[in-house]
A and B are shown apart, each in its own frame.
Chain A
Amino acid sequence: MSNAATSLPATPDRRLGSVLDATAGVLLKHMPAISAGLGLIVLWQLIVWFFEIPTFMAPSPVDVFFAFQENAGILWANLLPTLLEAFLGFVFGNLVAILLAIWFVHSRTAERAFYPIAVFIKAIPIIAIAPILVLIFGNGLAPKIIIAGLICFFPTLVNMVQGLKSASPAMLDLMRVLSASNTEILWKVRLPSSMPFLFAALKIAATSSVMGAIVAEWIGSSFGLGALIIEATYNFRSPLLYATVVIAAVMAVILFFLVSIVEARVIRWKPAANH
Chain B
Amino acid sequence: MLGAPKLKPEIDAPAAPSVAATAVSIRNVDVRFGDGVNEVTALSGISVDIPEGAFVTMLGPSGCGKSTLLRCVADLIDVSEGSVTVFGRTPSQARQNRDFAFVFQDATLLPWRTVLENVSLPLEVGKHARTGDYADPRALLQMVGLAGRENALPHELSGGMRQRVAIARALVTRPRILLMDEPFGALDEITRDRLNEELLRVWQETGTTILFVTHSIPEAAFLGQHVLMLQAHPGRMKEFMKVDLPFPRSLAVRDTVEFIRVTAHLRKLLEECL
Contact = CB atoms under 8 A, between A and B. Distances in A.
B153 A173 contact: no
Given A173-B104, A188-B124, A272 B74 contact: no
B110 A178 contact: no
B180 to A, nearest CB: 12
Contact of B110 (A171, A176, A181, A184): A171
Contacts of B102: 173-174, 177
A176 B76 contact: yes
A192 B112 CA distance: 7
B108 interface: yes
A77 B108 CA distance: 53
Interface string B105-147: 1111111100000000110111110000000000000000000
A178 B119 CA distance: 12
Nearest to A184: B125
Interface in A229-274: 267-274
B246 to A, nearest CB: 33
Given A173-B76, A188-B124, A192-B110, A269 B186 contact: no
Interface of B: 74-76, 95-96, 98, 100-102, 104-112, 121-122, 124-128, 153-155, 159, 162, 186
Contacts of B112: 192-193, 195, 267-269
Contacts of A271: 111, 155
A133 interface: no
A189 B105 CA distance: 19
A175 B122 CA distance: 9
A179 B154 contact: no
A274 B112 CA distance: 15
A29 interface: no
B155 A270 contact: yes
A272 B110 CA distance: 8
Given A171-B108, A180-B126, 8 more contacts: A170-B105, A170-B108, A174-B104, A176-B95, A269-B154, A272-B107, A272-B109, A272-B162
Given A173-B104, A177-B76, A272-B107, A188 B125 contact: yes
Interface of A: 168, 170-171, 173-181, 184, 188-189, 192-193, 195, 267-275
A170 B128 contact: no
Nearest to B107: A274
Nearest to A175: B125
22 contacts: A170-B104, A170-B105, A174-B102, A176-B75, A177-B75, A177-B95, A177-B101, A177-B102, A178-B122, A178-B125, A178-B126, A179-B127, A180-B126, A181-B125, A184-B126, A269-B111, A269-B155, A272-B106, A272-B155, A274-B106, A274-B107, A275-B106
A4 B203 CA distance: 63
A272 B95 contact: no
A189 B110 contact: yes
Contact of A275 (B75, B127, B186): B186
Contacts of A275: 106, 186
Nearest to B155: A270
A170 B109 CA distance: 10
Given A175-B125, A177-B101, A273 B110 contact: no
Contacts of A171: 108, 110
Contacts of B106: 170, 272, 274-275
A174 B155 contact: no
Contacts of B111: 269-272
A273 B155 contact: yes
A179 B110 CA distance: 17
Contacts of A176: 75-76, 95
A267 B74 CA distance: 33
> Which 10 A-B pairs rank lowest in CB-CB distance, beginning with the nearest?
A274-B106, A180-B125, A179-B126, A270-B155, A170-B108, A269-B112, A272-B111, A177-B102, A184-B125, A269-B111
A173 B95 CA distance: 12
A42 B207 CA distance: 78
A114 B74 CA distance: 36
B125 A274 contact: no
A269 B153 contact: yes
B95 A168 contact: no
Nearest to B166: A174
Contacts of B153: 268-270
A43 B71 CA distance: 69
B74 A177 contact: yes
A131 B237 CA distance: 72
B232 to A, nearest CB: 23
B271 to A, nearest CB: 29
A179 B95 contact: yes
Nearest to A177: B102
A178 B121 contact: yes
B76 A179 contact: no
Nearest to B125: A180
Given A173-B104, A174-B108, A192-B112, A272 B154 contact: yes
